[in-house]
Structure 1
Amino acid sequence: MRVRWLSSAVWTGHPRIGRALALLAVTIAGVVIGVLLGGHTSSDVGPFRATMTITPTLTGDTEVDIPPLGALLLDSHDGPAHLTVRLDALDRARTQALITDPAGISRASQNAVTDVSSGLVRLVLKTTGMAVVCTMILAALIFRRIRQVAITGLLAVAVVGATVGSAALTLHRDALSQPRYDGLLAYAPTVVGDAKKIADNYGAYADQLQKMVGNVSKLYASVSRLPVFEPAPGTTRVLHISDMHLNPTAWEVVRTVVEQFQIDVVVDTGDITDWGSQPERNYVASIALLGVPYVFVRGNHDSEATALAVAGQPNAIVLENGIVTVGGITFAGIGDPRFTPDKQSNASDSIDSEETIDEVTGVGKQLAETIDKQLTKINVALVHDPLSAEPLIGHCPLILAGHRHERSVTTKTNADGKTSMVMVQGSTGGAGLRGLESAEPLPLAMSVLYFDDQHTLQAYDDIRVGGTGLAQVSLERKLVLPPVLATPTPTATR
């Protein structure tokens, strides 16, 4: 039975107009169905597996989904097509290949734009084909005439072509520097700063990224140029990192150092995340891939959820005014008492009140009391803020901290004449996204500490890898010499 629901009402007075409207209505319906069914494709963009999707809309625009952080909303174009790009995951095999092959990193950087363009071309072709097929099937069911079916097929091609053309003609080329944020990324303007400034700097970062990661392979070779120090049998190697701030690149650098320097224990003095949110716990899953014990204390950007996520890793230990012995080294640690991401601005990170100072130094006093109660010697104390280290001077020979994103090593003496070495680590994550904002971005900083069989620090390597825009690797070894005692001046005798 032939369907005539379109003709009965319209074709009576104006048959040609009625037939044209019917053909157009079927075409639009078929195109919409085709776009919904086939308007998506997968594409490899460097190490990422991306899904691109076109959906009918009246406003256009582009949405970049970055699970679990949220989305970037770009006013990229006008017209009846909305583009969604979802960065599903990093492909482990491709990522590892890029990290270990500097030439591969270079090729990925150079081909990124081509990868995206190729994905969009495939998406348009697939969507057009599915729209034409669905339109012609719908027309065959309704009209059951080859001529009308052919006409709707041609109209479908024209509709899709007009949609793509309108998007190209209304393309807003500055949309990337003016994004809107959704989900956790809604906080990004506070963390990141000026979007256009970062977009500009990111171009330089992308150009140098392959060099930065590729140069990690030079770390081990650099040892031959360091001061003479041959770790004796029984030496324990501890890697000190801090302030990762969700930088995914940092994990690959850390893992390279763990493998090349035969690290026994990794110590993290906090701020592994930015917001301490539940979705960020996926970031800490890389801890398990290191394959060595991981000792952690919370920073002011880490929540209780962060600590639980870290503690959930099979090789991780979270210290909260606690003691643990790993690799023969006995650590005491306590987390930062603050949680600043829930404040209104980054100004809360600064120490600007007596109450805050008392709070931060107070946890150092708690840890000092815990250390003094121990019957065994504590080799290393872990805190996040260097202010918390002050009450620990003289209670432990070595104190590790972070927070300031700047490396420093000092020896301090308390009122009783007892000394401690205080090592403040730079940012192993290059301050995360905020590292893109500076004209001279922070390098990825970490240190390898060498302890002898008596658990005394003998030497340490300060490692600095590139940064967001830099491509150099530096490694400086320093020996820890025992204090030189003053020699009494002989007194002349008569």
Structure 2
Amino acid sequence: MDGHENEQPKTGRPPGSGWVGRLRRLGVALAILVIGLGGTVLGVLAGGQVDTDIGPFKAKMVLTPSVTGGTTIDIPPLGALLLDSHDGPTHLNVELGALDQGRVEALIDDPASINRASQSAVQDVRDGALRLGMRTVGATLLVTLILAGLVFRNARRTAWAGGLSLVVTASSLGLAATSIRPQSIEEPRYEGLLVNAPAIVGDARRIANDYTKYAEQLQRLVGNVSQLYTTVSALPVYEPAPNTTRVLHVSDMHLNPTGWQLIRTVVEQFDIDVVIDTGDITDWGSEPEANYVGSIGLLKKPYLYIRGNHDSTKTAAAVARQPNAIVLDNATTTVAGLTIAGIGDPRFTPDKSTAPAAGGLDKTTADQMITVGDTLAKTVRESPTPVNIALVHDPASAGPLSGTCPLVLSGHTHSRQVSKLPEQPGQMPTQLMVQGSTGGAGLRGLEGEQPTPLSMSVLYFDQDKLLQAYDDITVGGTGQAQVNLERRVVEKPKEGAPVPVTPTPTR
């Protein structure tokens, strides 16, 4: 052997420079492209999401690949808003979740903070979007590098794939950022129950503009309740005895945070023993709304509740979780010496107006309401302890309760009314007290020319658990900055005296 047998013949071209080499390089380039783009997509799906706070809401922001771009704001279970907010190739999905209880309580304590919260919500979205973008870039780069490393086992090719992923992700996010259309929020498309929103969007904008002024006015009015108590406690017409049981009757809160502040003020100033809520604490009965009931626990007093037609079973369950709450649904309980029976509204019609139809209830609904009254009346009659108060949401259910107990409380109509139920000879007389809206009918209460007033009543029961007097409290409304209280002494059964009325307005 001369040592030259293993030498290859020289062709004058470097190895791999032929068509086979070109195909190989093309294959590597295509592989880098596929791995880079695949890693980018997988990275977006795996890491393109972030949890953030938007105002009082906890929200999730998610990026997904899309040709058309745009934003979807999910508001479960109501539906979604579709915004033409930016161009592709990324789509932003914002899902509003539970309310943050701490932030909600701050809004309740300081209604003026609602304005600040609405202003900070824009910054919250920007901060969340920035964190989402950075997280997405990091996730896509990491996933691509790992995937390329496993496939190529070559540092140079892995770096090329990672660089490609970084360029694609950054350019996609850059295109979305430079094509943002802020005005798109004013021209949304609707899905789900929100398809009805365009019919009221004009009122909603006006309500949003006016609410801060309205809330600040109510803030001042709530403070006047203390003056009311000082004034009315000195009235000679009726002076509650030391063993008097004081019950606060509220109804139809409809998510108004100012209502909680008013309730807390009255509970403290009037030394309330029990709070009774005859329903419609929420508007849609949705899971995010259920966080609104967290303020019940702050009252530190027994809170009796029945479900209204705007409250879902989830709403009732959220109320039941409060440490001081009792949910009645065709049941009785004894609190502060009072035996109370209650039943929830059988309907769940959150999209229905509370205003009664011109022709009244249709026959099917009327029969349904009477059936509910009959059911509760049977429970009251079978109670081993005589029932002092019966609770129904809709006064249309009160008729069958005549003669079963001295007092029936209800709400639903947003209009305060006191009457006696028709009675048969020899029956116990039964009084029906319909409460107004403690939440001023919620935001819908601002749709008219004048806001709906916030209404509640303090009921005074003697040692025999009979109603002796009640104070009707009205805050705001009718376009006047006033708090009004009217004390009414009920007819004394033994003496048959007429009902004296002593109104006490405070401005």
TM over 0.5: yes
Q: Which residue does the alignment assign to 2:12?
A: none
Q: Does 1:451 align with 2:461?
A: yes
1:41 to 36, 40, 50: 50
Q: Which residue of structure 1 lines up, in the alignment, with residue 209 of structure 2?
A: 204
Contact 2:83–2:187 (Cα < 8 Å) also in 1: no
Q: Distance in 2 between matches of 1:73 and 1:10?
A: 55
1:120 match: 129
Q: How far off its partner does 1:79 sit?
A: 1.3
TM-score, with structure 1 as normaliser: 0.72
Question: Residue by residue, what CA displacement relative to the aligned partner does 1:183-208 show, whole Å, maximum 9, x if unpaired?
Answer: xxx34556x67353365245326645
Aligned partner of 1:76 in structure 2 is 84
Task: Name the SS for the 2:171 alignment partner.
Answer: helix
Partner of 1:31: 40
Larger radius of gyration: 2
Query: Structure 1 305/40 Cα, relative in aligned 2: closer, same or farther at 3 Å?
Result: closer
> Do residues 476 (structure 1) and 484 (structure 2) align?
yes
Separation in 1 of the partners of 2:116 and 2:222?
18
Using the size of structure 2 for normalisation, the TM-score is: 0.71
Greater CA deviation, 280-289 or 376-385? 280-289
Write out aligned runs for 1:100-179 (5 A): 100-101=109-110, 104-132=113-141, 134-135=143-144, 142=152, 144=154, 149=159, 153=163, 156-157=166-167, 159-166=169-176, 168-169=178-179, 171=181, 173-175=183-185, 178-179=188-189
SS at match of 1:87: strand
Report if the CA contact (8 A) 1:269-1:382 is conserved.
yes
Identify if the C-alpha distance between structure 1 residues 457 and 365 changes in structure 2 by more than 3 Å, giving closer, same or farther: farther
3-state SS, counterpart of residue 433 of structure 2: strand
Tell me how far apart the structure 2 counterparts of residues 233 and 59 of structure 1 sit (CA, whole Å).
Answer: 71
Equivalent of residue 71 in structure 2, options 57, 62, 82: 62
CA contact (8 A) 2:280 2:307 kept: yes
Structure 1 stretch 26-35 or stretch 74-83: which is displaced more?
26-35
- Displacement of 1:8 in angstroms is 12
Cα deviation for residue 382 of structure 1 reads 2.2
Unaligned runs of 5+ in 2: 1-16, 499-507
CA contact (8 A) 1:298 1:335 kept: yes
* Matched residue, 2:334: 325
| Residues matched between the structures, number | 468
Match of residue 85 from structure 1? 94
Q: Which letter does structure 1 place at the counterpart of 2:305?
A: F
User: 1:226-245 alignment to 2 at 5 Å?
Assistant: 226-227=231-232, 228-229=234-235, 231-245=240-254
| Cα distance, 1:109–1:306 mapped onto 2, change above 3 Å | closer
1:109–1:206 Cα contact (<8 Å) kept: no
Instruction: Tell whether the 8 Å contact from 1:360 to 1:387 is kept in structure 2 after alignment.
Output: yes
Residue 121 to residue 442, structure 1, CA distance change in 2 (3 Å)? farther
Q: Which has the higher contact order (CA 8 A, sep 6+)?
A: 1
Contact 1:399–1:420 at 8 Å: present in 2 too? yes
> Conserved in 2, the CA contact under 8 Å of 1:197 and 1:437?
no
Q: Find the partner of 2:199 among 172, 194, 198.
A: 194
CA distance in 2, matches of 1:107, 1:284: 22
1:255-279 CA-to-partner distances (Å, cap 9, x unmatched) read 5544554432121223445667899
For the residues of structure 2 that align with 1:359 and 1:95, how far apart are their CA atoms?
A: 36
Instruction: State the partner residue of 2:272.
Output: 263
Name the SS of the counterpart of 1:341 in structure 2.
coil
Unaligned runs of 5+ in 1: 1-6, 487-494
Percent identity for Structure 1 against Structure 2: 45
Matches within 5 A, 1:247-396: 254-255=263-264, 257-259=266-268, 261-272=270-281, 287-288=296-297, 290-301=299-310, 315-319=324-328, 323-336=332-345, 338-339=346-347, 341=349, 350=357, 351-354=360-363, 356-361=365-370, 363-364=372-373, 378-390=387-399, 392=401, 396=405
CA shift for structure 1 position 402: 0.9
Amino acid at match of 1:424: V
- CA 1:328 to 1:39, structure 2 compared with 1: closer, same or farther past 3 Å? same
